[in-house]
Structure 1
Amino acid sequence: MTLPASIRKLLPHDPTPLGGGLDNTVYTSGNLIVRIANNPNPDALRREAALLTAIADLPVATPVPVAVDDDAGILVYHRLPGTPLLHRPRTAATLGPSLGKLLSALHSAPIPPTTRTDDTPLTDWLTDTADTYPAAAPALTPTQRRAVEHFLATPPPAPASPPVLTHSDLGAEHLLIDPDTGALTGIIDWTDATITHRAVDFGRLYRDLGPTTHSEVLAHYSPEWTEADEHLTRFFARCTLIEDLAYGLTTARHTYLSAALANFSHTF
């Protein structure tokens, strides 16, 4: 890996691999995280850096840019405390209050003017999920496949509340927790942050954390919540669970696959 001189001089030693996904590969060097886009998009990285600067005062820690190289797709920030929830068994500590306060602040935050809007029709979400389903189906039992196929044959719900600033990928892999107490310590990977339905954030949380935590989040969420928001939350939870199943199977990422299967019953 070759890094620009402006980035390399910030690092205490050669970076070592930490992980990665579809969008980014992540390295660590001392207390710094070096995130490199798999397919650099300078405009997208500039938008993300502006957003991260704007949301630095959220009630949960978020990455604050130390250095950005737009052309190389590199973002450097200080490592946040905690471990991704996806890779740790949940402890008895509830995440509901801290997530409720976080989403209350995020969904009412001023929106940086460079933030993109995602107005993808819900029918397209359903079509994309139907296209993804064949890759996920081998992991499912016949009863589970019938539940998914019934969902895919049902028209999507109506849009609910006005669009707000969202994380848009708020799954367990991006929630950092204290491994001893289970307390929420940070939120990472804001690459997909957009102006869209707030239920996009709630849907992934419902999928990964279940209905009890969902209710606890809503108990600490200040904007009004409607029945339409609830229907849309279930819709996004189901779409993204199929996405995770397919991702886990096709990439042999067994952590994603096992988590999606464990979350199937409450999601569907």
Structure 2
Amino acid sequence: MTLQPAGATVTPSERTMLTDLGGRHHLWSDEAEPTTLARGSENTTFAVDGFIARRTTDVEALAREVAMLDALADTTSVPVPLPVVHRPDLGVLVYRRLPGTPLLRRPDRLGARVDRVLIDVLRALRRIRPDPPLVVDEHPNEAWLADARVDFEATGSYLGTERAAIVGVFLEEAPPPTRSLRVAQHNDLGAEHILVDERGQVTGIIDWTDAALADPARDTGLLLRDLGSAVALAVSAGLDGPVTADERARIYFHARCKWLEDVAYALEDPAGRVAYLESSGRTFEHVFGGT
């Protein structure tokens, strides 16, 4: 999905849909001014008067997300988007905007025991049994590595000679074998989806669109990429017990693949995605420097 600048254009048809939606469900007034937050091939996200409205062409995926969020909200103390309106006929989900700013935008990312908060919400996610259930993410590690090699081709000039050489060594190594273990994952648990207040306390976890049954190293790999090994390994241990050498290797593998994906994404629009580039510059050493 493409992030939009503040005040990005809302089309006349979208404005009509949002005005009708707000009036019909008593959410906002006809005078409320919507803003486009993100626009992609399947999803468009709007902010309107303290609410977030997301419209999608994949109504089945939206139904799964709504069922999951409803179940999750009753199982964890960590704030997550709570569906206020679900309109399958429009492909629309509305929820109240959670307070806080994305952790991605904070240079100091380690607030008070963020690992405990993440363990709480991910443990709760594993306990729920939404209907319809989450899909199984079948993307094998060989495909993750192939994607990382493509991303590397798009990032060469940005990385510089020394870092490119380090990344090149990783890309020549065989990936960890794809395993059959699948557990419920946020599946996109980067710092941009962890909201915090001015003290660094977590105020919410957002953007559950990609939630699926997947390798548990997916979420912890993203946490290692953005928050470092101490947080990632603490979360892994809190969920599944002592971290084995095999699990550690899987976590680093996914962290490195997702690091390259983030850089390639940022370089598509360097001016609009400065926070992603700044983050990749800060995190390179701990992502590629240890195992």
TM-score between the two structures when normalised by the length of structure 2 = 0.83
Q: Give the structure 1 partner of residue 71 of structure 2.
A: 54
> Within 2, Cα distance between the matches of 1:105 and 1:185?
16
**Deviates further, 52-61 or 217-226:** 217-226
Q: Indicate conservation of the 8 Å contact 1:47/1:115, yes or no.
A: yes
> Within 1, Cα distance between the matches of 2:77 and 2:39?
26
Q: Give the structure 1 partner of residue 148 of structure 2.
A: 129
Kindly report which structure 2 residues correspond to 1:109-188, keeping only aligned pairs within 5 A, or say none: 109-110=128-129, 112-159=131-178, 162-179=181-198, 181-188=199-206
The reply on whether 1:267 has 2:287 as its aligned counterpart is: yes
Structure 1 pair 219/86, CA: closer, same or farther in 2 (3 Å)?
A: same
Paired letter, 1:172: A
Q: Give the structure 1 partner of residue 28 of structure 2.
A: 12
Shift of 1:227: 2.6
Q: Indicate conservation of the 8 Å contact 1:34/1:76, yes or no.
A: yes
Shift of 1:255: 1.0
> Within 2, Cα distance between the matches of 1:114 and 1:102?
18
> Within 2, Cα distance between the matches of 1:262 and 1:41?
36
> Within 2, Cα distance between the matches of 1:132 and 1:27?
29
Structure with bigger RCO (C-alpha 8 Å, 6+ apart)? 1
Q: Indicate conservation of the 8 Å contact 1:170/1:201, yes or no.
A: yes
**Deviates further, 107-116 or 188-197:** 107-116
Q: Give the structure 1 partner of residue 276 of structure 2.
A: 256
> Within 2, Cα distance between the matches of 1:123 and 1:173?
26
> Within 2, Cα distance between the matches of 1:59 and 1:169?
20
Q: Indicate conservation of the 8 Å contact 1:59/1:105, yes or no.
A: no
Paired letter, 2:60: D
> Within 2, Cα distance between the matches of 1:260 and 1:229?
23
| Gaps in structure 1 of 5+ consecutive residues | none
Deviations 1:195-238 (A, max 9, x none): 01111000101000012222443454355643322211111100
Q: Indicate conservation of the 8 Å contact 2:237/2:243, yes or no.
A: no
Q: Which of 254, 261, 273 does residue 243 from structure 1 map onto?
A: 261
Q: Secondary structure at the match of 1:81?
A: coil
> Within 1, Cα distance between the matches of 2:60 and 2:195?
27
Structure 1 pair 74/86, CA: closer, same or farther in 2 (3 Å)?
A: same
Identity within the alignment, %: 37
Q: Indicate conservation of the 8 Å contact 2:176/2:250, yes or no.
A: yes
Paired letter, 1:264: F
Q: Indicate conservation of the 8 Å contact 1:177/1:186, yes or no.
A: yes
Structure 1 pair 77/192, CA: closer, same or farther in 2 (3 Å)?
A: same
Deviations 1:20-67 (A, max 9, x none): 265644322233211234xx2111111111111121122311111111
| Gaps in structure 2 of 5+ consecutive residues | 1-10
Q: Indicate conservation of the 8 Å contact 1:238/1:267, yes or no.
A: yes
Q: Give the structure 1 partner of residue 7 of structure 2.
A: none
Structure 1 pair 70/175, CA: closer, same or farther in 2 (3 Å)?
A: same
Deviations 1:115-146 (A, max 9, x none): 11011111011111112221122210211111
Paired letter, 1:8: G
The reply on whether 1:217 has 2:235 as its aligned counterpart is: yes
Question: Number of residues paired by the alignment?
Answer: 265
Q: Secondary structure at the match of 2:228?
A: helix
Structure 1 pair 107/139, CA: closer, same or farther in 2 (3 Å)?
A: farther
TM-score between the two structures when normalised by the length of structure 1 = 0.89
> Within 2, Cα distance between the matches of 1:26 and 1:237?
27
Shift of 1:251: 2.1
Structure 1 pair 183/161, CA: closer, same or farther in 2 (3 Å)?
A: farther
Q: Secondary structure at the match of 1:158?
A: coil
